[in-house]
Structure 1
């Protein structure tokens, strides 16, 4: 039997029992939904960094990376991109010029305010198949699993 090249294939049933596959699927769908309803340029990880910088202004990049579950090289690249867009200031630490201290720029504050409202609004549509109690349980379960997987990975 020959298939057309663009014909969608069904998902192999074995994948539905694999948590990594399902986590990736969730993340891909979330990223696509984010791009349509939050911001097509600002990414979820960038939003996380900006949120953490607002909460902990003047913290160093390395500490900030841990706070938002990014590795140091990804954090450095992400912070550089946010700086180039004028959303973040990376200031060399006076006691150690290799360390960069992070601050939101005024433009970053404005963008974060706008985006935060849109991100907050995502919860409703994304979790609408679940009752309020199920939503709380689901978020709690995701947190526990994420923490466990990070421990398993040595993070």
Structure 2
């Protein structure tokens, strides 16, 4: 019989707990209405307006069904606009509306503060290391996990 894991040393558990802390801070300090994933969508469209839904999903690391629901909800709320691509009528291009841009502008300072709160107990070197490690873990699904190309 296998021994139980020491959860305080189990990376998956720690990542889940860190996400719980982030979600609680987000809800408390940034928005009760806009999730951090919706914020990522708005922010990605600020960085690259006029992308299609597939590209937006890639930029935000969200799956197709999730991005579809978010785009629909944010469009219904008046934060995104959708227009047909004149060069390829099958594609729909997404942009922030004025309301979406104003909302994003109002959320960015608090989102920066939450990021700072998450890192405040770390030294500068630990902050860089923690961010680098999380970025490396998060990019694991960018390449095959079995080592094949």
> Structure 1-normalised TM-score?
0.83
Q: How does 1:60-75 map to 2 (within 5 A)?
A: 60-75=52-67
Are the equivalent residues in 2 in contact too, given 1:87–1:105 (CA < 8 A)? yes
The 1:153/1:95 distance shift into structure 2, 3 A limit, reads farther
Residues 55-76 of structure 1: per-residue CA shift (max 9 Å, x gap): 1111101011001101111111
Is 1:124 aligned with 2:102? no
Q: Decide which of 87, 103, 107 is 1:111's aligned counterpart.
A: 103
Provide structure 2 residue ranges, at least 5 long, that are not aligned to the other structure.
none
> Greater CA deviation, 116-125 or 138-147?
116-125
Aligned to 2:11: 19
> Structure 2-normalised TM-score?
0.87
Shift of residue 96, structure 1, vs aligned partner: 4.4
Partner Cα distance (1:21, 1:152) in 2: 23
Aligned to 2:134: 142
Aligned to 1:6: none
CA RMSD of aligned residues (A): 1.9
